[in-house]
Amino acid sequence: MENVVEFTNVTKRFKDFTVKNIDLQVKQGFVTGFIGANGAGKSTSIKMMMNLLRPDVGEIKLFGLDYKKHEKAIKERIGFVYDGNVFFEGLNMKDIKRIVAPAYKHWDDKVFYQYIEKFELPLNKAIKTFSKGMQMKASLAIALSHHAELIIMDEPTAGLDPIFRRELLDLLQELMVDGNRTIFFSTHITTDLDRIADYIAFMQSGELVFNQSIHDVAENYAIVKGRLDLLDRDTEKAFIHVHRATTGFEALTDNTKAVSNIFGDSVAIDHASLEDIMYHLKGGIHHV
Ligand SMILES: Nc1ncnc2c1ncn2[C@@H]1O[C@H](COP(=O)(O)OP(=O)(O)OP(=O)(O)O)[C@@H](O)[C@H]1O
């Protein structure tokens, strides 16, 4: 399986924050959801992926190519969508097309106008008058009009109403049908990922905790609930993190076999949602 993005040992240091030793592979032909708490380092990583920021250490390759030598060739093949207005606000969609289209070898006017129609975007109205959803659609229409193989999106669904969010996810799914396209996007809305993601990459405090298929994530983690008196120093070793409440404990495990051996039927073992996993891993993966 080919990787369209490869981070090898990537580190970026800011004054108060470091993205550390990231080894990340984004697989061609799949949707990867990029999750993590506020300030975990997702946008910083995406900016490095787009060469808007340079790593201090490590290597980043897209389509097997290096930005130092192949920036233009790489950017031709990427559609970048991010939360916020990318364009000069006084411009309309026609102006933007005039400016952006010549920059891409594979720009396709027909596709552009198809998306303008599909998204019901006005061509002659200033972008500054667009709602958040319309701005997102505008950004997406541009990204899709040059036949990008890799779509990178920083929180594309943030602030969108549930109906447009659903439509956007359906559209992303349609885009994946040809099999060659790859989508990488960050989000806080983990239920969106249950809908469309094949892989989940999870950042925590500047580190990549895992990058696994959504199937493996579901297999590897489970939530365990039981009475507080079942917990002691030894039994807790089966857990990554334990939350105690007066009514009992809830814990995350990556070893359901051990949990079954230790606790038998005295605990309930349930599917762990991505939110459960994010909550319990907020201190990182160390066994209790
Ligand atoms: N240019 C910069 N200079 C200094 N610190 C920065 C810079 N850019 C980001 N940071 C810091 O890096 C940390 C990670 O920020 P980043 O935007 O990558 O997180 P994020 O995971 O995308 O968060 P959110 O989900 O809130 O968007 C934050 O503490 C932020 O203050």
Mean pLDDT across 161-170? 87
Handedness of CA 118, 124, 127, 130 (dihedral sign): negative
Instruction: Confirm or reject: Cβ of 17 under 6 Å from ligand 1.
Output: yes
Each residue of 110-141: pLDDT tens digit?
999 999 999 899 999 988 888 888 888 888 89
Ligand 1: centre distance to CA 39 (Å): 5
Predicted ipTM > 0.85: yes
Beta bridge partners, 174, equal none
42 lines ligand 1 (CB under 6 A): yes
pTM of the model as a whole: 0.90
197 with 33: CB under 8 angstroms?
A: yes
Cα–Cα distance between 272 and 275 in angstroms, integer? 8
Q: Report pLDDT for 191.
A: 86
Instruction: Measure 6 CA to ligand 1 centroid, in angstroms.
Output: 21
pLDDT over 80 at 287, yes or no:
no
Q: Residue 134 and residue 121: Cα distance in Å, rounded?
A: 7
Task: Report helix, strand or coil for 164.
Answer: helix
**Ligand 1: does its nearest atom lie under 6 Å from the Cβ of 211?**
no
Q: How far is residue 217's CA from residue 209's CA, in Å, rounded to a whole number?
A: 12
Question: Which residue matches tokens 């916020």?
Answer: 84
pLDDT-derived band of residue 23, with 50, 70 and 90 as boundaries? very high
E strand or H helix at 165: helix 162-175
- Predicted local distance difference test score (pLDDT) of residue 130: 87
> Which residue's CA is the nearest one to ligand 1's atom 9?
44
Distance CA 244, CA 228 (A): 7
What confidence category does residue 44 fall into, taking pLDDT thresholds of 50, 70 and 90? very high
Mean pLDDT calculated for residue range 240-265: 94
The confidence score (pLDDT) of residue 213 equals 96
Does the pLDDT value for residue 233 go beyond 60? yes
Residue 171 neighbours by CB distance under 10 Å: 16
pLDDT band at 160 (very low <50, low <70, confident <90, very high): confident
Least confident of 3-7, 100-104, 240-244: 100-104
Q: Residue length, the chain? A: 288
pLDDT at residue 192, rounded to an integer: 87
The pLDDT of residue 167: 87
269 in Cβ contact with 250 (< 8 Å): no
- How confident is the model over 52-93, as pLDDT tens digits? 999 999 999 999 999 999 999 999 999 998 655 556 668 899
Mean pLDDT of 179-194: 90
**Three-class secondary structure of residue 76 per DSSP:** helix
Using CA of residue 82, residue 140, residue 278, residue 7, what is the dihedral sign?
Answer: negative
